[in-house]
């Protein structure tokens, strides 16, 4: 019997070792060339500074060791010996995009985003692998967008929107313990979900404040027996409040009265809260309904994680056979509410919920910006939402999302002027990430890598996560 258990233990250890090795086997295109330069002079570019929303022609940007050293127009500056030059050919150079709400299950999700000009992402539901992965990207071991992450999603035991992957708490003691566990694991931003009780919510806020942690998430609704008013979330000090859909559900009870919308917009504007509308994820749900499920198999879904799709199959089936048209009408209403928020002066960011609910990484970020334009933002305002506003929400203003000396050299080269037509952002010709120049061929390789998420890695990470929160 002893020999049997010893053999079983060795087998389990061997399988675990194989999985760990496999977890580090990535597409070659995601391995940076450490001999490649990170200092360049980019010339003959239209410079799109989101701070002004305008494009300056005949511009140049000097990048030294992965940071912008100088920008300007006209005569070229002197530059150090050995700095390579890139002729932008008159195309538009601008900061890379910031997606404030994604779900990363595999490294290839990052490849899919970077291929589309997304140079920073915030993962909204941390697993144990996210912080080490972010560190590897920061050290230049993996090519991908800058990765920031919240801790595991905090929700109440028995909540209406409960999920196996949520860290479920019940009451103040468990809530405080979960916050401390996340802090000890290295997380510094908390993701709060809809159904936290008043008691748990208060404990999380108090513990987070004591530890210097930030919070983001859904407006907290409380329990059926003890609902929490929407205004409490506005006063909680969130970095961003997520989902126009969730705001409409909680603050308006899904009522579409125009005066109620205007009052809500004024209330949110007065609070100073940044809102992350994530219109695209509900649009995808509405399209699944409208097409009887055909939207699930559209070409953009090539990068969608098959393990996640398997978990969502029951939902996909439900919405594919949903007999009503209310999702389409509500999607239009969510756009109207977002328009009212913007008109009232609420600052918006760009987030997508990519990685879940038939919303693939990368391409969805530009679609979200198109939806913001549909909501009445100018193209320049949508670009600001995807750059400067995201940087501010992350506490990184002046470091990312900007085109000025001292900013990170996270840049995208676009075939046309997206301030005139936001759809030009679908045509990214090159990306600079941390000073590394990624040409069209490299971007095509990243796009192809994004089409091959690893089910084995995903299952391994899901198992690690469940053990961590169990």
Task: Say what the pLDDT of residue 18 is.
Answer: 53
Express each pLDDT in 388-412 by its tens digit. 999 999 999 999 999 999 999 999 9
Burial of 89 (0-12, 13-18, 19+ CB in 10 A): exposed
Q: Which residues of 212-244 are buried (b: 16+ CB within 10 A; e: fewer)?
A: ebbbbbbbbbbbeeeebebebbbebebbbbbbb
Question: What's the chain's Rg over C-alpha atoms?
Answer: 23
> Looking at residue 160, what is its pLDDT?
83
Q: What is the pLDDT, as a whole number, of residue 13? A: 37
| Cα–Cα dist 256/213, whole Å | 36
Q: What is the pTM of this model?
A: 0.94
Comparing CA positions, the residue from 357, 347, 416, 368 lying closest to residue 113 is 368
How far is Cα of residue 190 from the mean position of the Cα atoms in its chain? Answer: 15
Confidence label for 167 from pLDDT (cuts 50, 70 and 90): very high
Asked if 260 contacts 336 with a C-beta cutoff of 8 angstroms, the reply is no
Residue 158: is its pLDDT beyond 80? yes
Q: What is the residue-wise DSSP string for 404-425?
A: STTSB--EEEESS-TTT-GGGG
Side-chain-side CA neighbours of 330 within 13 Å: the count stands at 24
Closest CA to 373 of 423, 300, 428: 423
For residue 273 the two structure tokens come to 């809260």
Please measure the distance between the N-terminal and C-terminal CA atoms of the chain and give it in whole angstroms. 30
Mark 308-342 as b/e (b = at least 16 C-beta within 10 Å): beeebeeebeebeebeeeebeebbebbbbbbbbbb
Q: Chain-wide mean pLDDT for the chain?
A: 94
Q: Are 100 and 393 contacting, i.e. CB atoms less than 8 angstroms apart?
A: yes
120 strand-pairing partners: 98, 146
Statement: residue 10 has pLDDT above 50: no
pLDDT digits (tens, 9 = 90+) for 51-74: 999 999 999 999 999 999 999 999
Residues 190-243 have pLDDT tens digits of 999 999 999 999 999 999 999 999 999 999 999 999 999 999 999 999 999 999
Residues 6+ apart with CB under 8 A from 80: 39, 64
Tell me whether strands 241-242 and 275-276 are parallel, antiparallel or unpaired: parallel
pLDDT above 70: percentage of residues in the chain: 95
Helical spans, DSSP H, in 272-387: 279-290, 306-311, 313-320, 326-343, 363-374, 379-385
pLDDT in tens, 417-443: 999 999 999 999 999 999 999 999 999
Instruction: Report the candidate in 149, 146, 151, 142 with the shortest Cα–Cα distance to residue 175.
Output: 151
% of the chain exceeding 90 in pLDDT: 91
Confidence grade of residue 7 (pLDDT, cut at 50, 70, 90): very low
Q: Please, are residues 350 and 287 in contact by the beta-carbon 8 Å criterion? A: no
Whether the predicted pLDDT of 99 surpasses 80:
yes
Closest to 465 in 3D by CA, of 146, 25, 130: 130
Residue 5 has pLDDT above 70, yes or no: no
**Cα–Cα dist 167/126, whole Å:** 10
Report pLDDT for 340. 98
């Amino acid at each position: 019997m002893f020999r049997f258990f010893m053999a079983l233990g060795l087998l389990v250890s061997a399988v675990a070792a194989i999985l760990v090795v496999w977890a580090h086997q990535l597409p070659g295109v995601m391995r940076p060339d450490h001999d490649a330069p990170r200092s360049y002079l980019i010339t003959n570019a239209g410079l799109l500074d989101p701070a002004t929303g305008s494009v300056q022609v005949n511009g140049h940007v000097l990048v030294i060791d992965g940071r912008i050293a100088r920008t300007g127009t006209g005569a070229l500056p002197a530059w150090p010996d050995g700095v390579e030059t890139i002729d932008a050919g008159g195309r538009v150079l601008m900061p890379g995009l910031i997606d404030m709400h994604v779900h990363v299950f595999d490294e290839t999700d990052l490849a899919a985003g970077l291929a589309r000009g997304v140079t920073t992402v915030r993962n909204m539901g941390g697993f144990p692998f996210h912080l080490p992965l972010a560190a590897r990207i920061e050290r230049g071991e993996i090519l991908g967008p800058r990765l920031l992450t919240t801790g595991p999603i905090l929700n109440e035991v028995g909540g209406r929107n409960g999920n196996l992957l949520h860290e479920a708490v019940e009451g103040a003691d468990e809530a405080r313990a979960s916050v401390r566990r996340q802090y000890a694991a290295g997380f510094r931003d908390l993701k709060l979900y809809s159904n936290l009780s008043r008691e748990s919510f208060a404990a999380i806020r108090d513990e987070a404040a004591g530890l210097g942690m930030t919070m983001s998430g859904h407006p907290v609704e409380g329990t059926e027996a003890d609902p929490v008013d929407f205004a409490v979330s506005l006063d909680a000090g969130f970095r961003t409040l997520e989902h126009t859909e969730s705001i409409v559900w909680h603050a308006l009870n899904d009522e579409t009265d125009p005066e109620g919308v205007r009052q809500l917009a004024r209330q949110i504007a007065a609070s100073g809260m940044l809102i992350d509308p994530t219109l695209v994820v509900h649009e995808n749900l509405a399209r699944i309904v409208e097409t009887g499920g055909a939207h699930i198999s559209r070409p953009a879904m090539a990068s969608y994680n098959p393990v996640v799709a398997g978990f969502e199959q029951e939902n996909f089936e439900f919405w594919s056979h949903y007999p009503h048209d209310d999702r389409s009408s509500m999607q239009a209403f969510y756009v109207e509410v977002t328009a009212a928020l913007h008109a009232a002066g609420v600052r918006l960011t760009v987030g997508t919920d990519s990685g879940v609910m038939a919303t693939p990484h990368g391409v969805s970020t530009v679609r979200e910006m198109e939806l913001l334009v549909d909501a009445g933002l100018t193209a320049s305002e949508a670009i600001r939402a995807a750059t400067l506003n995201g940087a501010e929400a992350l506490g990184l203003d002046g470091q990312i999302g900007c085109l000025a000396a001292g900013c990170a050299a996270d840049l995208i080269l676009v075939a046309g002027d997206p301030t005139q037509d936001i759809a030009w952002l679908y045509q990214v010709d090159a990306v600079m990430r941390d000073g590394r120049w990624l040409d069209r061929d490299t971007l095509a390789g990243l796009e192809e890598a994004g089409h091959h998420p690893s089910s084995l890695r995903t299952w391994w990470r899901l198992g690690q996560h469940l053990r961590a929160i169990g």
